[in-house]
Amino acid sequence: MNYVDRLVAALGQQLRHLWTADRSGGERVWFLVHDPDKTRAVLARKDAFKQATEAAGKRWVEIDLTAEFGRWMASHRYAERYFARPRLATTISDDFVSALVTDIMRQIAERKVNDQTLLAMVGTESLYGITKLSPVIKRLEDAIPGRLLVVFPGEYDEPRYRFMGARDGWNYLAIPIVPIAGRGPA
């Protein structure tokens, strides 16, 4: 089994667990942790993750964050000022996180995400250098009726997650999904 196949198998194992409503928001978040160098390979096989989800009797709904900052910034009234003086990043980042969470919440409602839905958040690597992923997840976790699968390029070193190899990590209640042990090409 190659690296992505081992990740798909790990997701399949996690999907076998009973989904109960008594989980806290943080416990309904799953991080599909993968080596940042393997991001293209993981994203190229999204259909395999979707198939594993549907085989477990769950619904797959995908939200792609890849172009969200560009769309948001293009419509921002202070975009030109920001590009002239990028040090305004803290304010821009906070505003962007608020807008992003609002948009995801809208999509959750429009797409009728329910307690049998695995909401897959892809394209998280596009947030690197713009904002941290943790405030986005923290603001969403209680609004997810089923499970939130965050495709997470980074590392998990119990109990800390490190996004894109950043120096500081954070403790989080999320369930880590890492490639199952196996042999085969990386």
For 19, the 3-state DSSP assignment is coil
- Rounded Cα–Cα distance for residues 27 and 105 (Å): 19
Rounded distance between C-alpha atoms, residue 127 and residue 154, angstroms: 13
Q: Per residue in 3-61, pLDDT tens? A: 999 999 999 999 999 998 888 888 999 999 999 999 999 999 999 999 999 999 999 99
- The burial class, CB within 10 Å (0-12 / 13-18 / 19+), for 71 is exposed
Is 3:182 a contact under the CB 8 Å cutoff? no
Q: What count of other Cβ atoms lies within 10 Å of the Cβ of residue 143?
A: 16
Residue 171: predicted pLDDT: 60
**What's residue 182's pLDDT?**
66
Q: Tell me which of 2 and 170 has the higher pLDDT.
A: 2
Q: What pLDDT band is residue 186 in, cutting at 50, 70 and 90? A: low
Quote the pTM value.
Answer: 0.89
E strand segments, the chain? 29-34, 59-64, 117-122, 147-157, 160-163, 170-171, 175-177
Percent of the chain whose predicted confidence (pLDDT) is above 90: 59
- Interacting residues of 33 by C-beta distance below 8 A, sequence separation 6+: 152, 154, 155, 156, 161, 176, 177, 178
Q: Where are the domains of the chain?
A: 3-16+27-177
The whole-angstrom separation of Cα 139 and Cα 143 is: 8
Cα 16 versus chain centre, distance: 20
| Architecture of the structural domain at 3-16+27-177 | 3-Layer(aba) Sandwich (3.40)
